[in-house]
Amino acid sequence: MSLLEVENLSLHIGALHALRGVSFSLDAGECRALVGESGCGKSLTAMSLLGLTPPGAVFHADAFTLAGEVLPAQGSPAWRRHRGADIAMIFQNPMTALNPTQTVGAQLAESFVLHRNLGRREAMTAAVALLERLAIPQPAQRAAQYPFEFSGGMLQRVMIAMAVACRPKLLIADEPTTALDVTVQAEVLTLLAELQREQGTALLFITHDLGVVAEIADSVTVMYAGESVESGSVAQIFNRTAHPYSAALRAAVPSLKQDRRPEGIVGSPPDLRREVTGCAFAPRCRQRMAICEDTVPEFQCGEGQRVRCWRWHPDHPLRWREAENG
Amino acid sequence: MAERLVSMRGLSCHFPAAEAGVKLAAVDAVDLDIYAGEILGLVGESGSGKSTLGRMLAGLQQPSAGTLRFHGESDAGRARISSVQMVFQDSYASLNPRRRIIDSLMEPLGVARVSTRDKLSKAAKWLERVGLSRDAGERFPHELSGGQRQRVGIARAFIAEPRLVVCDEAVSALDVSVQAQIINLLQDIQRDSGTAIVFIAHDLAVVRSLADRTAVMYLGEIVELGSSAQVFSRPLHPYTRNLLAAHPEAELNSQGRHRRKVAPAQERRLPLSNDSGCRYAPRCSLAKPFCLRTPPALAVSEAGSEVACHRLREIEQYLASRAAKAHDDESSIL
Ligand SMILES: Nc1ncnc2c1ncn2[C@@H]1O[C@H](COP(=O)(O)OP(=O)(O)OP(=O)(O)O)[C@@H](O)[C@H]1O
Ligand SMILES: Nc1ncnc2c1ncn2[C@@H]1O[C@H](COP(=O)(O)OP(=O)(O)OP(=O)(O)O)[C@@H](O)[C@H]1O
Ligand code: SF4
Ligand SMILES: [Mg+2]
Ligand SMILES: [Mg+2]
């Protein structure tokens, strides 16, 4: 059984049907990347795993369990037991997650006091040891400095170390490296992979950078318009891309090695305040068939890969998979 | 080559540093020309001075030394207001939240000269140009998605037909499919209007696919400058080579993983006005004692690019011998 099971997650925020069927699972020690177009619901999926969906939002899921235990209702005080201890999160901008008026050392120490039951003095020693582990020179002096005195990459390394130091079962990272330059990004990813491997933490990694996915993920879930449309191992997603949206996403990635002009995806995603009939991607899909326009495709299991697309429906003929236009 | 639009000579921007008598050399003695109608990429590590250089071009930051000359303009300061525009990473911050999109779009067209009717039709034309519906013009910034707002930011920068637009991380926060739309849009606009673009970005592949020439910055200085094809396929400066090796390519190797070659995490340095020698020397695997003493100047490489490295000739020789060896290996197989 998987550590985390999410099946058919749905979320209404007023008239907006923001999440319309998100499914994935995660094993201990596995890293799953969550990718998809801006606004497709990646961050909302992450927030629901912390019990932090917007107030008044209507939540439903067929399965929503961590280590076999059903997670509490959204907004319930019972989440306090899970947050930080079982499930921790790293945000895109470390500056906003830290208190600008408190030293970095004090904030690190506080999280140790809270989650590892250390005394004040021990917690400060642990905080300094952690900075040292991150190759931050003069850790004792650094601990006495404020967040603005650290560079972006250094802060993000501190945030990751802080989240992992509490030994959560599940770590969620929402675009943790988009604000960083490539060298710092590589450093941060290396650290994340190292700590994750050491502690067997499951990692849900939200990103729009497929280069980062190739580097860090074991498995990938692609989302489109509030639903998961393809799930599989990283090799399947890269070498045997099934869903037309995943394929379009890959074609949009610019490469450093080739002089290929990246292709955009023409059109825009559907308005989720109205009901979606048929496949949500159909209006932009180059492989659309008549059935796609009026009947919703299910999230089916194929050869180890789940795909929400009529062309990949297991009952349907192989020739459907080849595009008419070659 | 095309007509020169801007010339920078010894352009610097120094800020006060923690130590007395020393300055933070955010941009330090940069010599650079921008040609009419070209797309110039600007890459380099965080804090290398890319945004500061861009802001000086747009007149948002006063240089502390050197000259910045706009050709064909008698009074550079005045002319710049209409001839240089800037697009930022976060267009939300640069749009007035209480104004409709269409009103924000008309703003750069100024008050005088043009009739409101002409302005409206021009704004509508640009909405269409960047792939937004007319209805989007009636909305307020918070009612658009991030990608849509970024397109408004671009339309707003180009609407007054400036001669130069500085795009500072203009596509970084967008997912790849929206990014690709905007890159194609920028290329089309540039081709049609001949506006020059300075394109600042962390994502090297994006810069390669868009820019004609690319300048690589390191701690306030330009260390390599050449055609994008040259800089990205045959990088010469040790920093550029290191930077390109750190790029995450969206593909898997035979082990099913992409792994970058990166040097272990290192302390970052700040560029100071009293630095001696090459600023990259402390991190450079090729540094010799003289690198720490004498700063290298930009020199022309055999391929025609410009590189600031004392060991340029040796690097070129090494690359040439490696290429010859690869060729020999190939012929011995045949
Ligand atoms: N608090 C909220 N109230 C109303 N709508 C919201 C709220 N939070 C998110 N949304 C909407 O829900 C949709 C999904 O948002 P989400 O932030 O999950 O997207 P995302 O996939 O993380 O996108 P990005 O890549 O841009 O971060 C968007 O259309 C967004 O406008
Ligand atoms: N107004 C200012 N006052 C003092 N220092 C500044 C100011 N603006 C920039 N700096 C410093 O100048 C240096 C260059 O900053 P700049 O923002 O130009 O870098 P950048 O190359 O754009 O980096 P990034 O890729 O992170 O955006 C940095 O060390 C920065 O801290
Ligand atoms: S179901 Fe049809 S429209 Fe949807 S992605 Fe598959 S082929 Fe395209
Ligand atoms: Mg998000
Ligand atoms: Mg910048």
- Domain containing residue A73: CATH number: 3.40.50.300
Report the percent of chain B where pLDDT is more than 90.
Answer: 42
Distance (Å) from the C-alpha of residue A81 to the closest C-alpha of chain B?
A: 33
Q: Do A37 and B247 touch (CB under 8 A)?
A: no
In the sheet with B164-168, reading across from the earlier edge strand, the strands are B84-87, B164-168, B196-200, B39-44, B213-218, B221-227, B306-307, B299-300
**Spatial distance between the Cα atoms of A33 and A29, rounded to a whole number of angstroms:** 13
What is chain A's alpha carbon radius of gyration, rounded to the nearest angstrom? Answer: 21
Is residue B120 included in any domain, yes or no? no
Q: Is B194 left (phi over 0), alpha (psi -120 to 50) or beta?
A: left
H helices of chain B, where?
A: 50-57, 76-83, 91-94, 101-106, 116-129, 134-137, 146-158, 176-193, 204-210, 228-233, 238-245, 289-293, 312-333
- Count: domains in chain B: 1
| Residue B312 in domain | yes
Q: Using an 8 Å CB-CB cutoff, list chain A residues near B47.
A: 151
Nearest to A2 by CA among A68, A85, A83: A68
Q: Chain B interface, mutation test: which of A256, A259, A266, most B Cβ atoms within 10 Å?
A: A256
Instruction: Tell me what pLDDT residue A162 has.
Output: 81
Choose between B273 and A94: higher pLDDT: B273
Residue A43: inside a domain, yes or no? yes
**Residue B255 neighbours by CB under 8 Å, 6+ apart:** none
Any idea which residue has 């498995």 for tokens? Answer: A219
Q: Which of B24, B176, B219, B253 to mutate to test the interface with A (most CBs of A within 10 A)?
A: B176
* CB–CB contact B180 A259 (8 Å): no
Confirm whether A136 is domain-assigned: no
Interface test with A, best of B48, B92, B150, B177 (most A CBs within 10 A): B177
Angle, CA of A309, A315 and A320, to the nearest 5°: 55
User: From CA B129, how far away is CA A52, in angstroms rounded?
Assistant: 39
pLDDT at residue number B333: 52
Number of other CB atoms surrounding residue A31 within 10 Å = 24
Quick one: pLDDT at residue B214?
Answer: 97
pLDDT for A317 equals 66
Cβ within 8 Å, pair A214-B249: yes
Confidence bin at A324 (pLDDT 50/70/90)? very low
Structure confidence at residue A230 (pLDDT): 96
Q: Contact B184/A254, CB-based, under 8 Å?
A: no
Which residue from B45, B147, B257 is facing A38, i.e. has the nearest CB?
Answer: B147
Q: Between B146-158 and B116-129, two packed helices, what is the crossing angle to 10 degrees?
A: 130
- A156-176: buried (b, 16+ CB within 10 Å) or exposed (e) per residue? bbbbbbbbbbbebbbbbbbbb
Closest CB to B248 among A187, A209, A261 = A209
Backbone phi, then psi, for B197, in 5-degree steps? -130, 130
Residue to mutate, A222, A229, A284, A285, ligand 3, most ligand atoms under 8 Å from C-beta: A285
Highest mean pLDDT among B6-10, B68-72, B126-130: B6-10
Spatial distance between the Cα atoms of A34 and B323, rounded to a whole number of angstroms: 40
From A264-268, B24-28, B116-120, B199-203, the region with the lowest mean pLDDT: A264-268
Q: B92-133: per-residue pLDDT in tens?
A: 677 888 999 999 998 888 766 678 888 889 899 988 888 787
Which is the closest atom of ligand 3 to the Cα of A293?
Answer: 3
* Residue carrying structure tokens 């040259």: B230
Query: Is A258 within the bounds of a domain?
Result: yes
Name the residue range of residue A19's domain: 4-101+146-325
Instruction: Please state, in angstroms and rounded to a whole number, the distance separating the CA atoms of residues A145 and A161.
Output: 17
Cα–ligand 5 centroid distance for B47 (angstroms): 7
Residue A70's φ and ψ, nearest 5 degrees, are -70, 130
Contact by Cβ (8 Å): B108, B156 = yes
Report whether pLDDT(A192) > 90.
no
- Please indicate whether residue B46, judged by its CB atom, sits closer than 6 Å to ligand 2: yes
Place of tokens 């965080």: B46
B130–chain A nearest CA distance, Å:
12
Higher pLDDT, A162 or B42: B42
pTM: 0.81
Name the residue with higher pLDDT: A40 or B256: A40
Q: What is the model's pLDDT at position A303?
A: 67
Asked whether the beta carbons of residue A259 and residue B184 sit closer than 8 angstroms, the reply is no
Residues in contact with ligand 1 by the CB-under-6-Å rule are A 13, 16, 18, 38-44, 54, 208; B 146, 175
Is the shortest distance between the CB of B47 and ligand 2 below 6 Å?
yes
In the prediction, which pLDDT does A4 show? 96
What's the average model confidence in pLDDT over A262-290? 89
* CA B88 – ligand 5 centroid, Å: 9
Tokens at residue B192, please? 């049609």
Q: Are residues A36 and B175 in contact, defined by beta-carbon separation less than 8 angstroms? A: yes
Nearest CA-CA partner of B161 in B195, B205, B206: B195
Residues of B in contact with A132 (CB under 8 A): none
Q: Report residue A195's pLDDT band, with 50, 70 and 90 as the boundaries.
A: confident
Mean pLDDT (chain B) is 85
In CATH, what number is assigned to the domain containing residue B267? 3.40.50.300
Which residues have CB under 8 Å from B296's CB, separation 6+?
Answer: B278, B308, B309, B310
Q: Does B18 touch chain A (CB under 8 A)?
A: no
Residue B278: pLDDT above 90? yes
Looking at the CA of residue A297, tell me the nearest atom of ligand 3: 1
Q: Which residues line ligand 3 (CB under 6 A)?
A: A 243-244, 279, 281-282, 285, 287-289, 292, 297, 309-311
pLDDT > 70: what percent of chain A?
94
User: From ligand 2's centre to the CA of B20, what distance in Å?
Assistant: 19
Q: Does B179 touch chain A (CB under 8 A)?
A: yes
In a domain, A67, yes or no: yes
Task: Evaluate if residue A152 carries a pLDDT over 60.
Answer: yes
Residue B205 touches partner A, C-beta closer than 8 Å: yes
How do strand B4-16 and strand B164-168 relate by DSSP bridges? unpaired
Is B171 within a domain?
no
- Considering every ligand atom shown, identify the ligand nearest to the alpha carbon of residue A208 and give its number: 1
Query: Using CA atoms, how far apart are residues B61 and B77, in angstroms rounded to an integer?
Result: 12
Residue A109, in any domain of the structure:
no
The amino acid at residue A289 is: M
**Residue with more model confidence, A92 or A109:** A109
Mapping DSSP to helix (H, G, I), strand (E, B) and coil, where does residue B87 land?
Answer: strand
Measure A98 CA to ligand 4 centroid, in angstroms: 19
- How many whole angstroms separate alpha carbon A39 and alpha carbon A32? 19
A87 belongs to a structural domain: yes
* B136 in a structural domain: no
Chain A interface includes B146 (CB < 8 A): yes
Question: For residue A135, is it within any domain?
Answer: no
Residue A322, CA distances (Å) to A176, A266, B289 in order: 37, 20, 62
Query: Could you list the residue range(s) of the whole structural domain that residue B67 is in?
Result: 1-83+198-334
pLDDT mean over B43-61 = 90
Is B327 inside any structural domain?
yes
pLDDT at A32 over 50: yes
Give the minimum alpha-carbon distance from B42 to chain A in angstroms, rounded to a whole number. 13
Partner-chain residue, chosen from A37, A191, A214, that has the shortest CB–CB distance to B177: A37
Q: How many domains are there within chain A?
A: 1
Q: Is A256 close to B205, i.e. CB distance below 8 A?
A: yes
How big is the A-B interface in CB pairs under 8 Å?
Answer: 154
Q: Is residue A126 part of a domain?
A: no
